[in-house]
Amino acid sequence: MSEIKSVDGDDVLELMRGYELILKDLYALFADKISVEREFWIKLSEEENKHAYWLEVLGMNMQKQNVSLNGDERFNVPLIKSSIQHVEEALNDFRKVELSLFDALTFAKDVENSMIEKKFFEVFYGINDDFDQVMKLLKEETEEHNRRIEEKLVKCSKC
């Protein structure tokens, strides 16, 4: 289960961390339900957990530097919250049903791709060098997840 206590507040980094953790849980569920691609989903889940850790460390470093993202107009808090809610609802639904590899890949692609299309990570540049580096890495890894998922999806067009 997710490590998210409650992501009701408006702390941008905590919301982003919560999003990464819910994706970790989603991919872990896919690993449990789709044994044929278990290792693929486990790796994605582990990588999402790593992303959450990066955001946690970044948040601690920014606190030490007395830098806050809260109140910055560039950050679309409702978008982050609705993305978390969307994945949480899907996760709960997926727990109750049989799940095909195709359906899991399609949903995962939609989730990863939506963050790329909305340029979610790009609006965050310019806070400080540490922050920019983490956002760059998150963007690159999200693009890589999207590429790997798309690769599996093409192979699975009729699975």
Say if CB 143 and CB 28 are below 8 A apart.
Answer: no
Give the closest residue to 23 by CA, choosing from 136, 110, 98.
Answer: 110
With a cut of 90, say whether residue 118 has pLDDT above it.
Answer: no
Say if CB 83 and CB 26 are below 8 A apart.
Answer: no
What value does the CA radius of gyration of the chain take, rounded to a whole number of Å? Answer: 16
What is the DSSP secondary-structure string of 59-72? HHHHHHTT---TT-
pTM score: 0.83
Domains and CATH numbers, the chain: 12-155 (1.20.1260)
Give the closest residue to 2 by CA, choosing from 54, 53, 49.
Answer: 49
116 versus 32: the higher-pLDDT residue is 32
